[in-house]
A and B are shown apart, each in its own frame.
Chain A
Amino acid sequence: MNETFQLDGSAVPFEPGQTVMQAALAAGRYIPHLCYHPEFKPHGSCKLCTVKVNGRTVASCTMPAEGGLDVESEIEELNALRRSLVQMLFAEGNHFCPSCEKSGNCVLQALGYDLEVHATGFRHLYPDRPLDASHPDILLDFNRCILCELCVRASSEVDGKNVFALSGRGITKHLIVNAESGKLSDTNIALTDKAMQVCPVGVILPKRVGFSVSIGERRYDQRPISAQALDDAPRQTDASGNCAACEGTP
């Protein structure tokens, strides 16, 4: 690990094959992100991790680290764009933090606080997305889906089940489950699945847990998401494939 690139003016070492995001996190340097998860292949869809590399904007989670790169991340221009992306996600779904059981453990909410998103800024779309409460132990609240596909990747790559997929295009794109009835109860999902642990927002929830963790004890009550990421670095899986810093796990 002799090669380095520059991140906001200071050197970050990297190993061959690492992305800019992986190297930065391993070095304890935080770049805001939402759809990136260390246990899965980079997805590059949420664009929260966009950085400037030698003056060009790229997704840091998919950008291979190279020696001599000049990466800019913590600059107002990019944070303003990130703020707008988070605002659009809030406007696109139905995110009612005051009564959401994921509050305090939600990556979207934590990013909103960290990026100082004080208002939605866009007209709310208020989509009609009924809940799927058909499964005896698992609730799906599609109102909060941000289409990060972490559950799709986890179910496919780790659980080997393909319970989730995205359907439709553009503004009609939405999360579906792999059952003719369209009901989660007719899939083979289980509470122990990896797909149950990775949702960064409050879509995939174990039933009857609710607000069992008190205010003050929740993940992002303690420290902002940027500080949590620094605490958790290096974000690498252990021998059994578990990630201690898994964002979606309270």
Chain B
Amino acid sequence: MTDINDKLETAAHPEKLRRVAIDPVSRVEGHGKVTLLLDEDDRVHQVRLHIVEFRGFEKFIQGRPYWEAPVMVQRLCGICPVSHHLAASKAMDMIVGATLTPTAEKIRRLMHYGQILQSHALHFFHLCSPDLLFGFDSEMSKRNIVGIAAAYPEIAKQGVLLRKFGQEVIRITAGKRIHGTGSIPGGVNKNVSIEERDYLLNDVEQIVAWSRESVGIAKQLFEQNLDLYNDFGRFDAHTLNLVRADGALDLYHGGLRARDMNGGTLFDHYDYSHYWDVIFEDVKPWSYMKFPFLRSLGPETGWYRVGPLTRVAQCDFIPSPLAEVQRKEFLAFNGGSAAGATLGFHWARMIEMLHAAEVIQDLLHDTDLQGNDLVSKGERQERGVGVIEAPRGTLIHHYKVDENDQIVRCNLIVSTTHNNQAMNEAIRQVARQYIDGRKLTEGLLNHIEVAIRAFDPCLSCATHALGKMPLEVELLDAGGARVDVLTRSSDGSFCSAS
């Protein structure tokens, strides 16, 4: 890990190297780019993922009433707004001193697992399956969900309908498929009616079955391309995730668990309301995004990996039978190699999707969903912290509220930020594996995006975008003059100026 840092994060004489920029690695919520520094022999000396993560939410939420936060901050994202909606709500539960009623907690869980289901389906089927099923340097015009629909119509259909079901769960619990208002400080604003429950029950068995098949697709891809999937962008990392009190996978609530890259426990079941005692954020001059690290290990080596791969590998068990069987197979596969592979994210993601489907099925049979005791409150507090496992990883919301009910301070550490250094490590490995010493092509550059997509659908979403997102790669000489430029146009074609 340190070796990679030394060799690829800081080049000794960057001014003498050629700079290649993948700019934009566009995405829904902002603008990102990858820069490569190459010498005259095309050897890679530096690779960086820059993400303009500055959204301003932490600033412009200041002064707003606290009950507005769960609705406002979810606008951070159009893919997983529910995660922000619920993390902020959990923080506001602390502000109003609430202990949730069983009905409120179960409806929020239903909403969250609906979110997990739809986001994981979107990520795997819509955004990543074109790379995985066609190949990383396959014909670009077909490398999208439309191409999948033509070549694998049943897979594409299942992906679309899995996501649709998740969105319907969200609509029924939050009021809208995207950016609803269902969760409020201290509870929820509606229950699930008998009619709404029955509507979801009609399809849930099929959804569980399709989710199970999806795990099979992810596993099969890994088996069929074992060397590629094992080694692509592989690196060792510390991990961070939430676990239930009994060590089970729990994506809605729990204590923080951190393990080092050898599996040693750094802390476990840690009360996240004081997360700042174990997690701190570093700043680097070349990225707007902060670099969180585990305090006990320090900023240089304390970075970590979050998300499905970490959660499935680090929990003690998954509390739903079908997903637990899959978790055991995942961990046992090839001596446990998938649990440390960057492309193992996809397999773990599908196991979580199956778990989400099972949780939704169980919750729909729980009569607490039809309860009317929706909101509670207790002694008002000044500070609130909400942590949740969003589709892409651990999400922290932290607010301070004054005596007039106005938010005076806000800190958000989103999944992408937790994974910042880990994503940098992944693309460095890919650069060394595939780009070092070779002539740059679109297919090779797509390898870097494949590594990013394993982590983060917000980046991958826009870079796929049905081939419509423009991508420009500039080759500059040591003096900064443009030597060549490769452009991906809106029709998906990729051409060189020279």
Binding site for B on A (CB under 8 A): 98-99, 101, 130-131, 133-134, 139, 207-217
Contact = CB atoms under 8 A, between A and B. Distances in A.
B242 interface: no
Contacts of A209: 67
Interface in B3-50: none
B406 A210 contact: no
B72 A133 contact: no
Contacts of A216: 175
Interface stretch (B119-127, B180-188, B385-393): B180-188
Interface string B73-92: 00100000000000000000
Closest 5 CB pairs of A and B: A215-B175, A210-B67, A99-B72, A214-B190, A133-B404
25 contacts: A98-B72, A98-B75, A98-B179, A99-B64, A99-B68, A99-B71, A99-B75, A101-B67, A130-B63, A133-B405, A133-B406, A208-B405, A209-B67, A210-B67, A210-B184, A211-B184, A212-B184, A212-B189, A213-B189, A214-B175, A214-B182, A214-B189, A214-B190, A216-B175, A217-B190
Interface of B: 63-65, 67-68, 70-72, 75, 96, 174-176, 179-182, 184-185, 189-190, 375, 404-406
B50 to A, nearest CB: 28
A212 B181 CA distance: 9
Contacts of A101: 67-68, 71
Contact of A214 (B75, B181, B185): B181
A212 B175 CA distance: 12
A245 to B, nearest CB: 24
B479 to A, nearest CB: 42
A139 B157 CA distance: 49
B189 A139 contact: no
B245 to A, nearest CB: 31
A207 B75 CA distance: 23
A95 to B, nearest CB: 14
B375 A212 contact: yes
A210 B75 contact: no
B68 A210 contact: yes
Given A99-B72, A133-B405, A211 B67 contact: yes
B181 A131 contact: no
Given A208-B405, A211-B71, 9 more contacts: A98-B75, A99-B75, A131-B406, A133-B406, A209-B67, A210-B68, A212-B184, A214-B175, A215-B175
Contacts of A134: 404
Nearest to B181: A211
Contacts of A208: 67, 96, 185, 405
Contacts of B181: 211, 214-215
A225 B388 CA distance: 39
B35 to A, nearest CB: 34
Contacts of A98: 71-72, 75, 179
Given A98-B75, A216-B175, A131 B63 contact: yes
A211 B75 contact: no
Given A99-B68, A133-B65, A211 B404 contact: no
A130 B65 CA distance: 12
Chain A CB count within 10 A is highest, among B71, B174, B182, for B71
Nearest to A135: B404
A215 B176 CA distance: 7
Nearest to B404: A133
B90 to A, nearest CB: 16
A210 B65 contact: yes
B302 to A, nearest CB: 35
Contacts of A139: 65, 405
Nearest to B69: A99
Nearest to B190: A214
Contacts of A213: 189
B71 A215 contact: no
Nearest to B374: A212
Nearest to B61: A99
Nearest to B191: A214
B177 to A, nearest CB: 11
Contacts of B96: 208
A159 to B, nearest CB: 23
Contacts of B71: 98-99, 101, 211
A79 to B, nearest CB: 28
A214 B68 CA distance: 14
Contact of B405 (A99, A207, A212, A215): A207
Contacts of B185: 208, 210
Nearest to A101: B68
